[in-house]
Amino acid sequence: MSLYGYSLADTGTNCLCDLRSDTLTKPSPHMREVMSQAQVGDDVYGEDPTVNRLEQELAARLGKDAAVFFPTGTQSNLAAVMAHCGRGDEMIVGDRYHLFCDEAAGVSVLAGVSMNPASVSEDGGLDPDRIKAAIKVDDPHYARSRLLSLENTVGGQVVPLDRITAGVQVARDAGLAVHLDGARFFNAITALGCDAATLALPFDTVSICLSKGLGAPVGSVLVGPDELMRQIRRNRKILGGAMRQSGVLAAAGLFALEHHLPKLVEDHTRAAQLADTLRETGIGHVSSQTNMVFLTPAAEDHTRLIAHMAQAGVKIGGQSPAIRMVLHRDVDDEALGVAIRALRDFVPV
């Protein structure tokens, strides 16, 4: 077993429901058909009409000037940090945010930017006082604080708008730029009940992933102001992310925005259903917002539960102590039913 839970080979059981991540969605036949018919050109020449349409669409939705299509969220975040910071600069970032924990310290390795981690509050946000304390004075001994990088959603938690604006204000007062890792931006606005431009407003740049709950196979988009876009395109080239006839991929993103985005709310509803079931079973502590459910069973039950679910054809995350279960487009009511029945059958120690 790995961090990603059991593989099929571990159990010999057919997978009936895979709750490990919303990155596991596979493109539907309809999405594949649209991809195959996409109009394409060389995007490095700026001549891929489908990429251009996706970039314009997301820039417009988020109320920003422009956007750039990237292969991954990791690269999009990195290109944003490189646009805001130079070597020897520092960014303030939450100590459980993806950019700090799960992107192999790329901003330090490749861009010479140090990360100053601020402790994330229970609600997933950063307290203004902690941001203020993390910002360094301009002194030759210190790295220069240049950027505040936030995340929403954070491990499935939605950070409310007022928490964001309070933190951003502190950063602005100190002259810092502000970036949002919005890998699950659309889950956040679905839960907040606001439009995309409202959540994007406080930020200079926002990175959005199309390949998580939205269900495209590949792709992230970085949106921001015109004056940063030349540098962001250059950064993408430096990082090896400038693609050619990538309209076949952008077509999946456009399809996802039109057809899958309105259905994200169904993942949130199923997550709430799963969380309610788990609370009834008393297997452990349950927390859930948006499309993710976290269950902390007794230590003795952790591996037992994962193995029990795998035997029933349900894959769940291998994280510890809290096991993560993520709802996404490839888990319908029938698959959720399989998971719920298996959970009800589990006998804790």
Ligand X SMILES: Cc1ncc(COP(=O)(O)O)c(C=O)c1O
Interface residues toward ligand X, by CB under 6 A: 23, 72-74, 98, 151, 181, 183, 209, 211, 220
Alpha carbon distances (Å) from 104 to 115, 144, 182, 234, 259 = 12, 22, 18, 22, 33
State in angstroms the smallest separation of the CB of 287 from ligand X.
Answer: 17
**Whether 43 contacts 244, CB under 8 Å:** yes
Complex with ligand X: residue 72 or 277, whichever CB lies closer: 72
- For residue 342, the minimal CB distance to ligand X (Å) is 25
Cα torsion for 102, 107, 113, 119, to the nearest 10°?
Answer: -20
Smallest separation, CB 86 to ligand X (Å): 23
CB of 348 to ligand X, least distance (A): 30
Q: How far is CA 161 from the centre of its chain?
A: 17
Q: Under a CB-based contact definition with an 8 Å cutoff, are residues 224 and 205 in contact?
A: yes
Shortest approach of ligand X to residue 216 CB, angstroms?
11
Residue type, 163: R
Q: Which of residues 77 and 116 has its CB atom nearest to ligand X in the complex?
A: 77
Closer Cβ to ligand X, 111 or 209, answer by number:
209
Residue 177, phi then psi, degrees to nearest 5:
-80, 165
In angstroms, give the least distance from the CB of 220 to ligand X: 6
Q: With respect to ligand X, which residue has the nearer C-beta, 50 or 153?
A: 153
Nearer to ligand X, 98 or 324 (CB): 98
Output the smallest distance, CB 70 to ligand X, in A: 8
Question: In the bound complex, which residue of the shown chain has the CB atom lying closest to ligand X?
Answer: 73
Burial of 253 per CB tally in 10 Å (0-12, 13-18, 19+): buried
The rounded Cα 92 to chain-centroid distance in angstroms is 18
Q: Which is nearer to ligand X, 98 or 329 (CB)?
A: 98
Contact 329, 215 (CB under 8 A): yes
Closer residue to ligand X in complex, CB, 264/305:
264
CB of 99 to ligand X, least distance (A): 7
Of 209 and 336, which CB lies nearer to ligand X in the complex structure? Answer: 209
Min separation Cβ 173 and ligand X, Å = 26
Best CA proximity match to 320, nearest among 309, 336, 304, 344: 304
- The one-letter amino acid at 217: P
Give the residue with the Cβ less far from ligand X, 170 or 209.
209
H or E, element range at 254: helix 247-255
Per-residue DSSP letter, 5? B
Contact 211, 23 (CB under 8 A): yes
Contact residues for 115 (Cβ-Cβ < 8 A; gap 6+): 90, 91, 93, 99, 100, 105, 107, 108
* Helices 333-345 and 264-281, packing angle to 10 deg: 10
